[in-house]
Amino acid sequence: MASERNGGDKERSGEKTNGAGLLFVPPEVKFTKLFINGRFVDAASGRAFETRDPRTGDVIATVAEGDKEDVELAVRAARKAFDHGEWPRMSGSERGRIMTRFADLVEQHADELAALESLDAGKHPAVTKAVDIANAVESLRYFAGAADKIHGETLKMQGQFQAYTLREPLGVAGFIIPWNFPSTMFAIKVAPALAAGCTMVVKPAEQTPLSALYFANLAKQARIPDGVINVVTGFGPTAGAALASHMEVDMISFTGSTEVGRLIMEASARSNLKPVSLELGGKSPLIIFDDADLDMAVELAVSANLFNKGEACIAASRVYVQEGIYDKFENKLAERMKSWIVGDPFSDPRVSQGPQACASTPTLVDKTQYERVLSYIDHGKKEGATVLTGGNPLVQKGYYIEPTIFTDVKDFALQHLYYLSDLGGTFAAQEGMTIAKEEIFGPVMCLMKFKTVEEAIERANDTKYGLGAGVVTRDLDVANQVVRSVRAGVVWVNCYFAMSSDVPFGGRKMSGFGKDEGMHALDKYLALKSVVTPLRGSPWM
């Protein structure tokens, strides 16, 4: 992906230098067709769509546009592989060996995958390799080790009977994955399904289709049988909707917006009542108490908001700071943001390597998301919030926005009831600001002040979401009180974004249900069957 060069060399055709002696060679896009039943094929309609580099808007590649007919072919292949193929009938240890080989191949091609995903999603290639691709490898290896550890239970029944349970592969799984972490999301859904013995159809996001197709090729090389993994690239309203409503798909796992999650649940209910696992939006709180290490708390708040350009459902976009350190925190945060860099990691030497790779904001994924984030920033300004830092787009090619920190933000718990005498003594509530209520999915932080533990907990819970939360304190009693009171799927204490394949991840409320990662993730892909047999002496014997 990069190599050392002498500073005086001329730039070679098709290669981009970052001015710091590093060379980025855009990867060759090798796979642009649908992957069905072990082969790369054109869409049945012959249509294709463009995937673009969000740094420039330039076309990276033209990709096959699958729709309902292609989904039908992919599901048919997955159904045949499940009903008659070897994968569900293979021993867990053998599936694990093949999955380990798959993980090894992903690791061997990490540079190419990272470069491909960085171009497609506007990510920093070094961070993509260290985080996204490494997470994919870890998930595949973790569930490879779990494949031969799927067991039922022996049950003691009343009367002259004995019983046991079997945990069997559920069938054909449908996966609809988002554009913010394409490789990670591919692996954390595919890996447990493979371990369970399921077959599957994957619909990657139309903004970032390239890595899923590359993974499909590596799965073929790993000798995962044909039909077990199928990838249909295309758009949500066509390919995604066809997958969610298909009668021969036995479950759907979706990561994305709450609005689309509702549509997927409706499609499931209208078709075959397939179970659905949803990992949806978030508006996660980070609560910082007076006794926190100030420097650490500032760094934590910055990384919890701006990692991956803020394009993370778990981002801590509501930061609550206790009043005793609020002013110092705000000043230090504003000073810290002076060293934050917004720019192209492929051409800007300040963000090309070292620690600055994680202290930078590359481009947002596409124009739609760029305009969405700018509209929220505009809402914040119009509704009376104060811009502490940022707040503007960058005038250059690509979809760059300055990381934006708002103060004077009114959230849900700051709603006050006003006595309106002219309405006969009724009460009316003052609305919280839009930026404090809705998921922005970009580099925007809401900074707010609180007094007591109880107030912080109340305000943290006053949201329709329940994906994650963080607490920063040296007081174990305070930490425990918050952990046990905040309604969220994961709570971090004195850290954030600490995730691993052995830790379940998923939300509550309108952040969805079902767990990715951890042994609990296997439950989605296994059917529990009870078996009862009579004992000697039973009337049935």
531 to each of 90, 158, 526, 535, how far by Cα in Å?
22, 14, 16, 13
What is the model's pLDDT at position 425?
Answer: 46
What is the model's pLDDT at position 421?
Answer: 42
Q: How far apart are CA 209 and CA 463, in angstroms?
A: 32
541 to each of 161, 162, 533, 535, 536, how far by Cα in Å?
10, 13, 10, 7, 6
What is the model's pLDDT at position 6?
Answer: 30
Per DSSP, the residues of 237-285 read IIIIHHHHT-TT--EEEEES-HHHHHHHHHHHHHTT---EEEE-----E
CB 406 within 8 A of CB 445: yes
Write down the catalytic residue from 279, 311, 439, 517: 279
Consecutive H or E run containing 326: helix 323-336
- CATH number of the domain located at residue range(s) 285-504 in this protein: 3.40.309.10
Give the amino acid at 231: V
Q: How far apart are CA 192 and CA 196, in angstroms?
A: 6
CB 467 within 8 A of CB 507: yes
| 102 CA to centre of own chain | 21
Q: Is 279 in the active site?
A: yes
Burial of 171-183, coded b for 16+ CB within 10 Å and e otherwise, reads bbbbbbbbbbbbb
**Nearest CA among 430, 412, 367 for reference residue 393:** 367
What is the model's pLDDT at position 24?
Answer: 54
CB within 8 Å of 310: residues ≥ 6 apart: 317, 361, 373, 403, 440, 441, 442, 443, 444
What is the model's pLDDT at position 122?
Answer: 87
Q: What topology is assigned to 32-280 in CATH? A: Aldehyde Dehydrogenase; Chain A, domain 1 (3.40.605)
Q: pLDDT of 79-105, one tens digit each?
A: 999 999 999 999 999 999 999 999 999
The two three-digit tokens of residue 168, written as one number: 């069997």
Domain boundaries, the chain: 32-280, 285-504
Phi first, then psi: what are they for 100, rounded to 5°? Answer: -65, -40
Phi first, then psi: what are they for 446, rounded to 5°? Answer: -105, 115
**Nearest CA among 88, 169, 154, 196 for reference residue 531:** 154
CB within 8 Å of 262: residues ≥ 6 apart: none
What is the model's pLDDT at position 11?
Answer: 31
**Helix (H, G, I), strand (E, B), or coil: what is residue 234?**
strand
Q: Which residue has the tokens 């499931």?
A: 268
What is the model's pLDDT at position 354?
Answer: 39
State whether the Cα torsion 78-80-86-88 is positive or negative.
positive
Task: Please identify every stretch of the chain with a pLDDT value under 50, giving residue numbers as ranges.
Answer: 1-23, 352-357, 413-429
Consecutive H or E run containing 322: strand 318-322
**Helix (H, G, I), strand (E, B), or coil: what is residue 96?**
helix
Give the amino acid at 458: E
State whether the Cα torsion 244-247-252-258 is positive or negative.
positive
CB 351 within 8 A of CB 124: yes
Q: How far apart are CA 135 and CA 501, in angstroms?
A: 8
| 490 CA to centre of own chain | 14
188 to each of 208, 268, 482, 521, how far by Cα in Å?
17, 22, 29, 9
**Helix (H, G, I), strand (E, B), or coil: what is residue 14?**
coil
217 to each of 109, 198, 221, 514, how far by Cα in Å?
11, 19, 6, 29
